[in-house]
Structure 1
């Protein structure tokens, strides 16, 4: 809208024009004539009426003189050609009968310090006499010359200025000059004197000056044309709307030039183009309907006469011709510009529409392929699920992660990459983008998302929802700020001592969360990958069980047999490895490894040890059998815990690590026993000032509807 307003304003201003002022020649308050000679600006009669002192004119007895130029008489000022015609004393040989008459030299006026030049194309070089005349520059270089022959017969050129080489010759010279010299050489046996000079071409052709007058009158004044120049430093104000400002280089020979500027009046105007208000429209042009003037120029057969006839009106030239022409140019230019703008805008809008259409169709295709229709069917079948499984759009998650910027990556794994993001409501979330999806497992994945989104336990990472509009589904969960238990446990510093009380609290919280998953519903959730890297710590160092990538939902009627063994080496249940039958006791075994890891501060697999010491589980069980288990505990644990307390925890871990699953306790039993140990433990005075919140574990479980299906997790369906 603003663009169109600007266009209208531009068109309006271009159409608006004012009539030029009445033509005048001199500055306001100055006389423009002296006798019969018009004195236009930049010349002026008086010091304040000219553009600079070189252009001052003295008007004495109705005769104008250029006071700064040897007081030469000013005969005419031509604004179109930027010349002045002055009357100068004839350069001539004064003593024709001198002994050295065969060679004589004449020097011109020196114009080097003036803004004037001898004009090359408005003067001609004339020699009257017998012999040769050569015109030279200041360095002695020959510019031009001519020769004559003298005979007794009369050729009839005394009154018509026609020089054909008989006692008179004439020619032109090629450059603008500041000075020149003439060398005259008489022929042997010739009588008389020679005269050479420059004469104004117009005066010579029109017959207002005769060559013979120089011979008749030694004091004759010869009209000569000088070019006047205005250097770039001179400020010019040409007629507004009626004249163009131009810069011209005048060739002075030998590769040099003089720069000048001029005001060139437009056709159809008269007056002084060097004055801002000095022009007006020619009356005949004003009568033209379109105010456009055309002239037919006829030259006389002898080349001496010129006249203008056949004045006609033409298109697009008028009192407001240039305003109208520029207006039409502006209108045309603006119209083309606006047209191009709208064409480009239309093409861009069409491109964006096609791109959005393709993206929308692609999102719909991905949504259908990733199980979106199955999710909607489940919500229709069970209205209680509506609103509990949040579906995020791809645009929301791309914006939350700055288009999945590398700087937002929290971690990479074999199954995918986790990004940190911020939703529009300000919530910080973790967004898991898996590598590949197995389309045969999409039904199980949707079922898992539906059920996990309803799991609400303070020690389980909350699944907020998913996105099905991308090439692989994205899982969105709450963001846990303090990293993994593995990082805290194996990077203990003096600034953050990992006390026994904190270890017991984390173990109790993880056990309670697993007990909740195993027994809270009629469809138990088996994690199948319990390890310290899958236990996150929030801002108060409370444990959060995460990464249900390999978990299963198993109905009570169904076999737990699986065709593909899943888990992490070092936490793996040996019985599951042998039988391929995963039970809740397999999670108990993995938790036992985590408990030993908390007691000893050692990694489950040591890359620097060998034999039985390479596996933390084997090393711990041998130490228990040999009665030296206290020797492998972490120093801080030994300092803060009593022997009986530590042996009780070690015995619980030993029971969890029993090679036969049926002899292992349930997670609920483990959680209760750990809670009892924690509440009876008296923290040492060397504990850290960081006090995690202590609370009673909530073992009241929410019951979900029965199902006879076995559910596979999303990550379980991903192949490497």
Structure 2
């Protein structure tokens, strides 16, 4: 008898030693040591907590809770500082459930207000947001306009409810007859409800028929709102409704930013995963797959022993628990599916018939594999042939011959120009990844790339090319590659083994002049000297292409978006997508006018003949943008859309100085103003003959810079004789600029103008 009792005690002890650890693994801690982990039947898991040191304190309210269990049954769990009643709190879903009284207004038969209860709810500066996925705004009673506003008093969402006679009741619940509902947007932390009554009126029976005495508006969980006996159209009492709150760690915007501060990072358990919040800023944590517990606590995630949870993880064979997972295998000598009842069966012998089937299957597989291998080889040869055809069609052979001939005639002239393969550029741009895009334009997309020698380049992938352009492409590439000017973006090479050739340029790091003038990084304190230097450098680049290149090159699309800036704000003219080699023997008439509205030469638009004076007109608009800080075309406001027409009108009225940027007016003296007005006026003249050459414009701008640096050249200075000597013309105050009605062609519309003949 004593031996039997000893054996029974030993079995019970082994059961405690074996089963207890398994149970402990299934019940990891949820709160900090020494802290309450529940209030009534609600589990309180960290980062939430009751009492000092039991909750996450990161500057955002909402994690500190209070449990009112003195004399209350069941105990009441509230948010400290807000006194919101929480009915449920979920760590896994990131949700909490709270209660809020419905806002009510009751009226007499004449429409007078007799009673009102108002209940708003503020979650501002807390970890909570109203769930946009699980809540909806509801207005009961009719006629009734219910809506709510945010913390600043601005409208957020609402709906209108109007009743009908009972015999004409509309099918469907809460569709606007006696009751209406609307969705709410995300990231809302304040609920301020309002009701709008419509007093009885003889003019409209729609607002008086079957009217109710009381109207309601409230925010409610969609699962509660089942339109059953809990919702009555004619109710007049006060009632509370549940609503869902989304919570997250919100003292930082997302996981990426939070992970940089290991001390403050809320995901503490080893292997815990961070997930960005979907409703407002912030993030939440979760245990990895196969683990359970609290990821916000050190060692809070514990391995799930699936072998002890057969209802969730059925296994009818040999179950072995592993970290984060488990294995379920049939016993030795059997095979089949161990996760299904009676799924394990004794192994059958490998019969002759089965061997035959396996052998035939292997033979068929090998035959299919050989056919597939041959098909891949055929496709590869086809691709190589297609690339060779593209290379020849795009003038690759001619370009190679011209490059060899040029190197032989002038050593080193085009030694820096290279013909790239498509594979090289695909590798340089990470297969033309979206995060490598530098800009998009009318001619194509520009990508940032890094070549094998670590050279950073800009790769222009054009959308299309006319057949007539392909014929001259090789000659134009060789000529453009010879441009060597500090203010012109260098053409480094091209890719010809694709349908539309790609161009490779030097990389300029500081963006475009357009974004510098009109982007978010605009610096209103940019000095006049910096603006004049950018203008002078751009003018020098265009003058170089017009006068020094052989043959001369016309840009054709001069604008601030095609002028790049490096780290020192040095201007570099780019994008020769619309460039043309100046004709040497005969006039060329374009069949397609290309350019950008606001910059397009009106004479070019009317004659379809691109000249060097077309670039002068476009540069005049660029100079205006630099001096005024305004866009070439403005689509908002009552003022004229075209910057040129506004400048001409202001010059006629003698008020053109007011059009200038405030910093420019502050620094520019009267003589400099007259000179720059003279330059712009001549550049934007409708008649090309009246426009100066780009070389003259560059020289005048450089002279203006030198004059502006002198003390007498700045605002408040006075030395007209010095101005005359620098500018080479009479500088008289009060000069009147005469314009005819034809002197400005105001083009409005889209960003790019194209006219087919």
Scaled by the length of structure 1, what TM-score is found? Answer: 0.46
Instruction: Pick 1 or 2: higher relative contact order, CA cutoff 8 A, min separation 6.
Output: 1
Rg comparison, structure with higher value:
1
**What TM-score, normalized to structure 2?**
0.44
